Amino acid sequence: MGRRNRREPHQEVSELKLGNFGRTESHSDGDWQVVSLTGETSLKVYKCPGCNSEIQPKTPHVVAWLLDMPVEERRHWHTACWKRRTPKRF
């Protein structure tokens, strides 16, 4: 009888686990957790709050949320929209 190949059950990979480069940014409206995504694991269409346009699956983009807000409040931004969103606080 031949050997049976057993595969591990498929586990969904969290979007924020692959290709992320997290950092904290200080802006005039507070401190933000910001994660840059490569887009490889993005499977959904998101709406950018900066331009109200769609971010298509597989598109590199930024996910950001205020540090004192729950992770569920994170928003997906086009990288360029995030960069021009608000000036940094020095």
* pLDDT tens by residue, 47-73: 999 999 999 999 999 999 999 998 789
What token pair was written down for 76?
């997906």
Integer CA distances (angstroms), 49 to 2, 11, 14, 37, 82, in order: 55, 30, 22, 17, 9
Domain residue spans of the chain: 21-83
* pLDDT tens by residue, 2-50: 666 555 554 444 444 445 568 999 998 899 999 999 988 889 999 999 9
